[in-house]
Copies of this chain bind each other. A is one copy, B any other.
Amino acid sequence: MNYMGSEPSTSLKAGSVAPEGFNTLECEETTKTCDGALAQAFKFLGKRWNGVLLGTLTNGPSGFAELKRNVEGISDSVLSERLSELQEAGLVVRSVQPGPPVSVSYELTDTGKALIPAMHALSTWASENFPTGTQH
């Protein structure tokens, strides 16, 4: 699976197989590195907008303009680029209805939908730890 641009290079948990480009760690149970799978997850989610985009798409398929409205603050060019990356990563699928008029929708794939429990856990954590209305 391809990543676009450079992504954070992370070390893997002791004993796990190192993908290309990663330094292979000696098998050492006391090494305090980040879980390799978690690091993998953060290759996507550690990029600005991806988490919120995926979160938005859990509400169902959306067109480009609708996503632009619903993800406040994102620019057209970044939205376009992120959607391309998420497609290439297999998390989002783009489907085109030729119309007229042409209509495009973006939808979570099964892989993308499989993120929902984790995103729910993140949402629960934020609700419990950063109640709305207390920011200043």
Chain A 68-96 interface 0/1 with B at a Cβ cutoff of 8 Å (1 = within): 00111110000000000000000000000
The 8 Å CB contact of A51, one of B17, B19, B46, B60, is B46
Q: Which of under 10, 10 to 19, 20 to 34, or 35 or more describes the interface residues of A?
A: 35 or more
Known contacts A9-B72, A135-B1; decide if A32 and B45 are in contact (CB<8 Å): no
| In the assembled complex, A103 has its CB within 8 A of some CB on chain B | no
The 8 Å CB contact of A52, one of B10, B56, B122, is B10
Copies in the complex: 2
Instruction: Determine whether the beta carbon of A114 is less than 8 Å from that of B130.
Output: no
Interface of chain A, main secondary structure: loop
With CB as the reference atom, state the residue of chain B lying closest to A2: B136
CB neighbours of A123 from chain B (8 A): 35, 37-38, 41
CB neighbours of A9 from chain B (8 A): 72-73
Docked pose: A115 CA to B119 CA in angstroms: 11
| In the assembled complex, A98 has its CB within 8 A of some CB on chain B | no
CB neighbours of A62 from chain B (8 A): 32
Docked pose: A52 CA to B122 CA in angstroms: 15
Docked pose: A65 CA to B134 CA in angstroms: 35
Chain A 1-38 interface 0/1 with B at a Cβ cutoff of 8 Å (1 = within): 11000001111100011011011000000011111111
